[in-house]
Amino acid sequence: MPLTEEATSKFIQAGPLKLHYHEAGKGPALIMIHGGGPGAGGWSNYRRNVDHFAEHFRVILPDLPGFAKSDKPKIDSGLLGFMAKAIVGLMEALDIPRANFIGNSLGGGTTLKFALDYPDRAQRLVLMGAPGLAVFTPQPAEGIKHLLEYYEAPGPSMEKLRAFLNVMVYDGSQLTDQLIKERYAASIQPDLIANPILSRSRPIMPEPLWKDFAKIKHKTLLIWGRDDRTVTLDNSFLMLNQLQDVRLHVFGKCGHWAQWEKAPEFNRLVVDFLTASE
């Protein structure tokens, strides 16, 4: 039977933070970190992938601090470092010494920062639409503009969320009303509206991780949608040039959510990469 959101849902105290996560499967640990859009969370980002990966791994889908059902702390600076520290706290609480990582967008940035700060605790890395350094396209990209405006006056709305999600994907017809309603409900929690992680009026400058890409030795798979309008494909080029053990896979007719729009092929590609002997 397919895994369900309710059956896999758990909470744990990870240092000062109470974190929510989903867990399924057995085997080597695989931590899958979601992006930073309104209403994002572990299950929301990876619902089309968790069943497949749970056949091979002990899958952990955390809700990052400030998202979904996890604590909503105030973060004034060092966003990626804060998130990476929360993930290592989660690993300590779950007695996971090392793990493979999949990170989408903000989750990709968190994974890169984790690999830099805690290199011995990371194994192989899969990064989709991770923040790098755009070399050709004007910034901020279209999707980032929608993201930063979501919590600004007059506040969140279904219309704002639908416009944002339409930028996330190549084919907006795949966005169901149910998905939009679920994401909207998750995005309007009172403590989140009072303290959004990402917004135009409360900018948190991301750490310039690109300066340290050459220090990352982990075997890494970059996955991008050619049509990503949020973290554009050219963000991958410096990673491809600087990461020590890296390869890039690009999907055509695909936006920012490669794991969602290209789920069957994505699942096979990533499992093959994570389980290959070389």
What does the alpha-carbon distance between residue 146 and residue 199 come to, in Å, rounded to a whole number?
Answer: 10
Contact between 37 and 164 under an 8 Å Cβ cutoff? The reply is: yes
What does the alpha-carbon distance between residue 107 and residue 63 come to, in Å, rounded to a whole number?
Answer: 10
* φ, ψ dihedrals at 147, nearest 5°: -60, -45
Residues designated catalytic: 256
What does the alpha-carbon distance between residue 165 and residue 120 come to, in Å, rounded to a whole number?
Answer: 36
Other CB atoms within a 10 A radius of the CB of residue 276 amount to 9
* Nearest partner of 101 among 34, 17, 39, judged by Cα: 34
Other CB atoms within a 10 A radius of the CB of residue 178 amount to 8
